[in-house]
Chains A and B, each alone.
Chain A
Amino acid sequence: MSALTQSTPGAAQSDAASEKELRPPSYWPFVVPALVVVIAIIIFPWVFTIWMSLNEWKVGSSTTFVGLSNYLRLTSDPRFIEAIGHTLVYTILSVLLPLVLGTFAAVVFHQKFPGRGFLRGVFIMPMMATPVAIALVWTMMFHPQLGVLNYLLSLVGIPAQLWVFHPATVIPSLVLVETWQWTPLVMLIVLGGLAAIPSEPYESAQIDGASIWQVFRFITLPLIMPFLFIAGMIRMIDAVKSFDIIFAITQGGPGSASETINIYLYSVAFSYYDLGYGSAIAVVFFLLIVLLAAVMLYARQRMLWTEIASGT
């Protein structure tokens, strides 16, 4: 607090040099309360998780230090390895589909039409609505006998599906929900990018008689690439961690066909109360997300270099 009480007579009369000296520390009191909270609920849990991952730590029995053996156990845990596969498939689909659909939606919402503001509000409702409530209704819609989805399919002559009740279709069905839910976020980000594009390239393209597709492919797409990349990154981070929808609809089933790392982590930590092993999964899971982000950054960098090299 001493930094706040700077207006002593001496300091007030002194020159600008001492005021500058006072400035940097004087903002610290604003940050300290938040820092305490962040240390308590974000940094401390992280450090503690790493420590727990080095221990055999089960609720109701004594803990012993076991070094890296929890991590070694992960490498030969078939359920964990299977979960990585499910997570990757789920994530890749849940990044690509919203990116494509969200870009299309952004291009459409970039046009002027009556009722645009209201319809945009309706369009973003899926991403703001309570995930569990949504999951509940999707579960009813997926119902093989009574669900409305199979009825809609029957109208266009497609045979009834088992949706989330069959191992082969469960992940695509969940991706459908995830895409429905999160395409709006991609739309919003890309829409922000479209707003920043100047109109000159479009005017000259129109004079040259370019088609709508050519305009999109050669003018719009390159210019919104940075925004698509950010949207893809955010989508990846959220899709990897996706929990509510999967847990509420399938709990990882049928069998373990939709068990992602996050769902498996939940079972280990809070169904079997194997907290040490669960912590090891949490650490590896975090590293996997960082790795995926790094791969995406690297790919983006490579793309930029080839663009420069090819002279576009």
Chain B
Amino acid sequence: MTPRQIIGKIGLWFSVFVIVSPAILFFLWMLSLSLKFEIDNAAYPPVFFPEHIAWKNYADVLASNRFLTYFINSLIVTGSATLLALLVGVPAGYGIARMAAHKSAIVILIARITPGLSYLIPLFLMFQWLGLLGTLVPQIIIHLVVTVPIVIWIMIGYFETTPMELEEAALIDGATRWQVFRHVALPIAKPGIAVAFILAVIFSWNNFVFGIVLAGRETRTLPVAVYNMISFDQLSWGPLAAAALIVTLPVLLLTVFAQRQIVAGLTAGAVKGG
């Protein structure tokens, strides 16, 4: 190695360190906060490696009777909103791609630009009139605002890249459009569906603004529950940080294990979104 190459290597690793450390340090600090007793969390200068680890922060959060309710609420809302979106969005993406109806993408674009709160005002009234407030149904429906455009968008892009020859052959053999979709197009599209599923789950799980308006005491999802903990528990940082970590842990694990799909989905959406 020449001296110039060595300097280049050092420079590269220094740059990598600078770029990645804010993320690493943040999440390590989050972990540290969640594992310390109050006395360590309230210390100055801050304690980085506690002598006694407060596993009880996690036990407290998990043992509080409502946390399980909120976790199940989050599962129901995210699960339903994602499955419904796949149910209507995958065929729609297929239809739009095959019809080459590119103008329909404008609706998706408008949905992307519109602030979430604009949907909330009219839909909030509708739910009130229909007497649905107080159940999870309004949140499932309004999460479709997030999940349906993601699924349609990603599936249009995906079906545009899958080959037509097989489908045409099946049509000539007398298969119906539905049979072609079900037995030819759908199996090929599995990786695309996985991308759409993962992104829909993440953005629905993370959603906060819909819940804060629509959720009652019993129907909170986890992000709303964590937010409410802030206002009540201003000073017990350990359990708060533990709760925050539990809420975001499923998403962080998905990010690490499904990184390839997430990157594919985000950049496809991004490049086409412009």
Contact = CB atoms under 8 A, between A and B. Distances in A.
Interface of A: 3-7, 12, 24, 26-31, 33-38, 41-46, 48-49, 52, 104-105, 108-109, 111, 113, 117, 119-126, 128-134, 136-137, 139-141, 145-146, 148, 151, 180, 185, 188-189, 191-192, 227, 229-231, 233-234, 237, 241, 243-244, 247-248, 262, 265-266, 269-270, 275, 278-279, 282-283, 285-286, 289-290, 293
B157 interface: no
B238 to A, nearest CB: 10
Contacts of A113: 12-13, 16
B270 A189 contact: yes
B116 interface: yes
B77 interface: no
B148 interface: yes
Interface stretch (B54-62, B64-72, B189-197, B247-255): B247-255
A12 B175 CA distance: 11
A275 to B, nearest CB: 6
Nearest to B177: A26
B140 to A, nearest CB: 11
Contacts of B76: none
A293 B110 CA distance: 12
Nearest to B237: A140
Given A122-B24, A126-B23, A248-B227, A41 B142 contact: yes
Contacts of A6: 176-177
12 contacts: A35-B92, A42-B145, A128-B252, A129-B252, A130-B248, A132-B247, A146-B43, A148-B29, A231-B270, A233-B273, A244-B208, A247-B209
A37 B99 contact: no
Contacts of B120: 269-270
Given A34-B152, A119-B16, A122-B23, A192 B111 contact: no
B244 A136 contact: yes
A128 B200 CA distance: 12
Contacts of B88: 33-34, 36-37
Interface of B: 12-13, 15-16, 19-20, 22-24, 26-27, 29-30, 33, 41-46, 84, 87-89, 91-92, 94-96, 98-99, 101, 104, 107, 110-125, 141-142, 144-145, 148-149, 152, 174-178, 181, 202, 205-206, 208-209, 212-213, 222-224, 226-227, 230, 237, 240-241, 244-245, 247-248, 251-252, 254-256, 259, 262-263, 266-267, 270-271, 273-274
A231 B266 CA distance: 11
Contact of A133 (B94, B152, B244): B244
A128 B271 CA distance: 18
Contacts, number: 275
A12 B245 contact: no
A263 to B, nearest CB: 9
B177 A4 contact: yes
A52 B119 CA distance: 12
A262 B230 CA distance: 21
B116 A31 contact: no
B270 A185 contact: yes
A5 to B, nearest CB: 7
Contact of A230 (B87, B252, B273): B273
B105 to A, nearest CB: 12
Nearest to A28: B95
B223 A45 contact: no
A108 B16 contact: yes
Contacts of A139: 230
A3 to B, nearest CB: 8
A41 B22 CA distance: 38
Given A41-B142, A108-B19, A130-B247, A31 B92 contact: yes
Nearest to A191: B267
Given A29-B178, A137-B244, A145-B44, 12 more contacts: A33-B88, A36-B88, A49-B121, A124-B259, A130-B205, A133-B245, A137-B26, A137-B241, A237-B113, A241-B115, A269-B117, A286-B113
